[in-house]
Chain A
Amino acid sequence: MSRESVINWIVLAGLVAVPLWAHLSDEPFTITLATRAVILALAAVGLNIALGIGGLVSLGHAAFFGIGGYTMGILAHHAQTYTPVMEWPLLIEGTKSMPVIWGLSILFSALAAFLIGLLSLRTSGVYFIMITLAFGQMFYYFAISWAEYGGEDGLSIYVRNGFPGVNTLVPIQFYGLCLVALLIVLGFNAALARAPFGLALGAARQVPARVRAVGLDPYRLQLLAFTLSGAITGLAGALFADLNRFVSPTMFSWQLSGELIVFIIIGGVARLFGPVIGAVLFVVLEHWLGGLSDYWHIYLGLMLLGIVLFGRGGVIGMVAGRERSHD
């Protein structure tokens, strides 16, 4: 087993053991922190498809996180106020069902990612970063001005949405649901990276001219990657909204897009568990350092600087070395 797999298994064991321990010793706050970490990890794992394999540095992924969040918020808001989402041309009611909300969150964020990708993937490098940022900001300002759904104040949802067979009000059960979602997506990512699609996408990042020369279109490969990536981050947004029972325009903020990139860089770009390690470290630091100082971001910044300057493979790269498994 490679050192990277050992790290992955340790992280996985921690994600199972710590919340269980917290549950048994009645520390619900720790479970909430862990849930937050897992959901942010899921969002970053989504981004890592575009960024890690595809080399697409999107500074607009908060758009998809927010779309997932608002999909949940709007549907649950209408369900709790007993008002329809729309009556014409067809009647659409709100819902408190997580499977339905998740499906729609994935659908809407995938659609948004497809449309944003369609335009922004025509550019590359700094222009791509800027145009994705611009799209993200568009959604942010739209959400702020959307008075019907709380505008700047956002929307509160009084009771967590339901999932068949699970009591989502029990923190450990909701956590379990989020962890399973993360594991499924990680499994999908691991497969994707080795599948013909992942191989072609990685080649499109490294040698686009070669990819064209063998009859493949980098643009289309990147468009699918961006769409899948946005869909997963959108799902994370729906879960995040359910964790907080609250959505607001900050879900669309560019700071969040930046944090997702930071998770990936801290953990290790293009490493399966890179974003997971990054998100966990972030949440832990946010909690510990945030309690010590309001300026805890400085420490995060220093850590990021250290990693970028001295250990470009992130935490995983530093521990497991540069070698990557090829099979």
Chain B
Amino acid sequence: MTEPVLQTKGLCKAFGALRATDNVSIDLRPGEIHAIIGPNGAGKTTLIAQITGMLAPDSGQVFLDGEDVTRTPPPTRARMGLGRTFQISQLAMGDTVLQNACLGAIGATQRQWRLVRPALRDPELRDRAMAALERVGLSDQARSVTAELSHGQRRQLEVAVALTLAPRAFVMDEPMAGLGTEGSARLTAFLDGLRREAPILLVEHDMDAVFALADRISVLVYGQVIATGTVAEIRADDMVREAYLGEEA
């Protein structure tokens, strides 16, 4: 079997008495989309925060390409190939769309110590940023100030910034949130192809998207993974239906 790109072993994180992450062991294999689903407050975002290094787990480990990165700060994890998107868009609202994408390119090429030549006149930075914007369909908005974008366009830009990193693995926290039917369908089609570049750990509420995309699904409830399996297995799982899908069935 191929070595997982990303793996957690027995991650635990409590906020006071609340066990937000309770002994979570999951992995992400090359070429796959592994969806994490679960009700609001199940601990999905908290799990991602530990995988990306924003939160330190109380116990357990995180591995990236087999290397223990549990104590590695977020920027280093990003440089090692972890590209993430945020549930709540984290964009420099006063900057243009192109500048936001360019920030990713600066991180990817580690050119942040260049003090004189304009970032947007650096062909490599510019090309990287423009290519990412083109892929998510935002190249026409490149010169717009980010604050002027619609919610859906901001979600697209979130993905574009992650693309500029050309990461080893994507971690996406509800990229479809608030996109609407058409936007979700477009992003679904895009992520479908993206998995061939790098596997995606996909936290998502949109069940149509999850069932269409996921190679595997893990169900998180009260911080615990109650089931992991293929789409068919998860749909058939009684415990899952009761705990989570019941409301949709």
Take A215-B79, A215-B107, A216-B75 as given contacts and tell me if A196 and B92 are in contact as well, using a CB distance cutoff of 8 Å. no
Per the bound structure, the CA–CA distance linking A324 and B118 in Å amounts to 16
A209 touches B90 (CB 8 A): yes
Per the bound structure, the CA–CA distance linking A224 and B118 in Å amounts to 18
Instruction: Determine the interface band of chain A, counting residues with CB < 8 A from chain B.
Output: 20 to 34
A214 CB to nearest B CB, Å = 3
One of B29-37, B94-102, B189-197, B223-231 at the interface: B94-102
Take A199-B103, A210-B91, A326-B145 as given contacts and tell me if A215 and B118 are in contact as well, using a CB distance cutoff of 8 Å. no
Report B23-62 CB contacts with A as 1/0, cut-off 8 Å: 0000000000000000000000000000010100000000
Closest A residue to B109 using CB positions = A196
A206 touches B94 (CB 8 A): yes
B165 adjacent to chain A (CB < 8 Å): yes
A221 adjacent to chain B (CB < 8 Å): yes
Per the bound structure, the CA–CA distance linking A324 and B102 in Å amounts to 18
One of A20-28, A187-195, A234-242 at the interface: A187-195
B67 adjacent to chain A (CB < 8 Å): no
A196 touches B106 (CB 8 A): yes
B143 adjacent to chain A (CB < 8 Å): yes
Picked from B83, B103, B108, B113, the residue with its CB within 8 Å of the CB of A211 is B103
B165 touches A215 (CB 8 A): yes
B112 touches A200 (CB 8 A): yes
> Chain B residues with Cβ under 8 A from A309's Cβ?
none
Picked from A196, A207, A214, the residue with its CB within 8 Å of the CB of B114 is A196
Q: Which residues in chain A, 260-285, are within 8 Å of chain B measured between CB atoms? A: none
- Report which residue of B84, B103, B120 has the largest number of chain A beta carbons within 10 angstroms of its beta carbon: B103
B29 CB to nearest A CB, Å = 23
A210 touches B119 (CB 8 A): no
> Chain B residues with Cβ under 8 A from A191's Cβ?
115-118
B103 touches A194 (CB 8 A): no
Per the bound structure, the CA–CA distance linking A198 and B114 in Å amounts to 9
B165 touches A202 (CB 8 A): no
B86 touches A216 (CB 8 A): no
A259 adjacent to chain B (CB < 8 Å): no
A196 touches B96 (CB 8 A): no
> Chain B residues with Cβ under 8 A from A206's Cβ?
92-95
Take A207-B90, A214-B108 as given contacts and tell me if A195 and B84 are in contact as well, using a CB distance cutoff of 8 Å. no
A113 CB to nearest B CB, Å = 16
B9 adjacent to chain A (CB < 8 Å): no
DSSP class of A's interface residues: helix, strand, loop or mixed? Answer: helix
A194 touches B112 (CB 8 A): no
Closest A residue to B112 using CB positions = A200
- Report which residue of A192, A200, A217 has the largest number of chain B beta carbons within 10 angstroms of its beta carbon: A200
Take A212-B74, A216-B75 as given contacts and tell me if A326 and B107 are in contact as well, using a CB distance cutoff of 8 Å. no
B91 touches A207 (CB 8 A): yes
Per the bound structure, the CA–CA distance linking A292 and B128 in Å amounts to 60
Per the bound structure, the CA–CA distance linking A197 and B79 in Å amounts to 17
> Chain B residues with Cβ under 8 A from A327's Cβ?
118, 120
B119 touches A196 (CB 8 A): yes
Per the bound structure, the CA–CA distance linking A122 and B244 in Å amounts to 42
A216 touches B145 (CB 8 A): no
Closest A residue to B98 using CB positions = A326
Per the bound structure, the CA–CA distance linking A8 and B166 in Å amounts to 41
A213 adjacent to chain B (CB < 8 Å): yes
A192 touches B116 (CB 8 A): yes
A207 touches B118 (CB 8 A): no
Closest A residue to B88 using CB positions = A209
Per the bound structure, the CA–CA distance linking A191 and B74 in Å amounts to 29
Per the bound structure, the CA–CA distance linking A214 and B52 in Å amounts to 11
B122 adjacent to chain A (CB < 8 Å): yes
B133 adjacent to chain A (CB < 8 Å): no
B78 adjacent to chain A (CB < 8 Å): yes
Take A211-B103, A213-B84 as given contacts and tell me if A196 and B111 are in contact as well, using a CB distance cutoff of 8 Å. yes
> Chain A residues with Cβ under 8 A from B213's Cβ?
none
Take A195-B118, A196-B125 as given contacts and tell me if A213 and B102 are in contact as well, using a CB distance cutoff of 8 Å. no
A215 touches B78 (CB 8 A): yes
Per the bound structure, the CA–CA distance linking A224 and B103 in Å amounts to 18
A105 CB to nearest B CB, Å = 20
> Chain B residues with Cβ under 8 A from A144's Cβ?
none
Closest B residue to A187 using CB positions = B116
B13 CB to nearest A CB, Å = 18
A199 touches B143 (CB 8 A): no
A203 adjacent to chain B (CB < 8 Å): yes
B116 touches A214 (CB 8 A): no
B95 touches A202 (CB 8 A): yes
Picked from B107, B119, B143, the residue with its CB within 8 Å of the CB of A214 is B107
B104 adjacent to chain A (CB < 8 Å): yes
Can you name 13 A-B pairs with beta carbons within 8 Å? A191-B115, A192-B115, A196-B112, A196-B125, A199-B95, A200-B103, A202-B94, A203-B95, A210-B86, A210-B92, A210-B103, A211-B103, A326-B99
Query: Shortest 5 CB-CB distances between A and B: which pairs?
Result: A214-B107, A215-B78, A215-B107, A210-B90, A194-B118
B interface residues with partner A (beta carbon < 8 Å): 52, 54, 73-76, 78-79, 83-84, 86, 90-96, 99-100, 102-104, 106-108, 110-120, 122, 125, 143, 145, 161, 164-165
A interface residues with partner B (beta carbon < 8 Å): 188, 191-192, 194-200, 202-203, 206-207, 209-217, 221, 224, 324, 326-327
